[in-house]
């Protein structure tokens, strides 16, 4: 699975990911004699691909990173949500690959990654990509909520919309219409397409294509669902839902 960001400092590196969820300062944040963090359990960043949202602190942090590099204690590469001047300068003068504009929620600590600081890409070598659609069917201001059965492979018992994989040769819209008809028996009319987005679940990365449909009549469920109900958006989201259903609804204009 390859994610594309922005090139800040060129180079190529690979290794295990060390992930922090807070902004980081190299000045004071790492022991320059060992390469171990002063937070996060004192983990070593030596030779790791170091991911954190954004740098902070004194501009001396740039030279702290360079000092780590000269001692052989630096990270192999850096990934940021948004690179700023301190970390950028330190990476460039230390010849450490740096890529930013990546969603760190898609990474897990310990991931095996390859950073291409020339192309601006990060490959998650053990993560598989699945292209899926999520169709939201509306009628008279309510959403058709669907409770997934125990016979499906993923998210058993969770509530969501109509969903399924995009088959070879299908467009996302074709897949969404097919899934809607298979799972509900309804004839649907497209109202809106939402921008696709990624969801990480273990070693699977879902690329989700949201679709909003209108339909008349009552659904006839197949084996993939236990039950269904016409619900207001807040009623659906109050149930035990599939991951990021709120984001699907937001991208389709069903919630703010």
CA 73 to centroid of chain Cα atoms = 30
Say how far apart CA 247 and CA 230 lie, in whole Å.
19
- The torsion angles phi and psi of 175, rounded to 5 degrees, stand at -65, -40
Please name the residues in contact with 199: beta carbons below 8 A apart, sequence gap of 6 or more. 205, 206, 208, 243, 244
Reference 212, options 255, 169, 243; nearest CA is 255
- CA-only gyration radius of the chain, Å: 22
The CA distance from 138 to 103, in Å, is 31
Ordered alpha helix ranges (H), the chain: 26-29, 60-70, 85-93, 172-184, 233-237, 245-251
Catalytic residue flag (residue 149) = no
Q: Using CA atoms, how far apart are residues 92 and 252, in angstroms rounded to an integer?
A: 41
Residue 36 sits at φ, ψ, to 5 deg, of -95, 140
Q: How far is CA 147 from CA 27, 153, 163, in A?
A: 51, 14, 11
Q: With beta carbons less than 8 A apart as the criterion, state whether 78 and 47 touch.
A: no
Backbone angles phi, psi at 63, to 5 degrees: -80, -25
Task: Identify the active-site residue in 9, 33, 44, 58.
Answer: 58
Active site residues: 58
């Amino acid at each position: 699975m390859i994610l594309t960001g922005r090139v800040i400092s060129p180079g190529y590196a690979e290794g295990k990911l060390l992930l922090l969820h807070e902004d980081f300062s190299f000045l004071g944040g790492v022991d320059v004699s060992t390469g171990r963090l002063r937070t996060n359990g004192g983990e070593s960043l030596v030779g790791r691909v170091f991911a954190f949202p954004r740098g902070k602190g004194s501009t001396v942090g740039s030279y702290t990173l360079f000092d780590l590099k000269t001692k052989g204690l630096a990270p192999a590469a850096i990934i940021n949500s948004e690179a700023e001047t301190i970390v950028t300068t330190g990476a460039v003068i230390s010849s450490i690959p740096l890529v930013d504009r990546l969603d760190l929620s898609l990474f897990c600590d310990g991931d095996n990654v390859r950073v291409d600081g020339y192309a601006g890409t990060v490959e998650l070598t053990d993560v598989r990509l699945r292209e899926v659609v999520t169709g939201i069917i509306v009628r008279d201001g309510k959403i058709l909520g669907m409770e997934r059965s125990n016979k499906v492979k993923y998210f058993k018992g969770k509530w969501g919309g109509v969903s399924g994989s995009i088959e070879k040769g299908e467009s996302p819209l074709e897949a969404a219409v097919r899934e809607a008809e298979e799972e509900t028996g309804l004839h649907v009319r497209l109202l809106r397409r939402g921008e696709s987005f990624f969801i990480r679940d273990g070693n699977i990365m879902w690329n989700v294509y949201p679709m909003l449909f209108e339909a008349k009549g009552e659904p006839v469920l197949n084996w993939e669902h236990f039950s269904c109900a016409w619900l207001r958006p807040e009623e659906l989201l109050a149930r035990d839902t599939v991951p990021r259903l709120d984001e699907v609804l937001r991208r389709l204009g069903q919630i703010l």
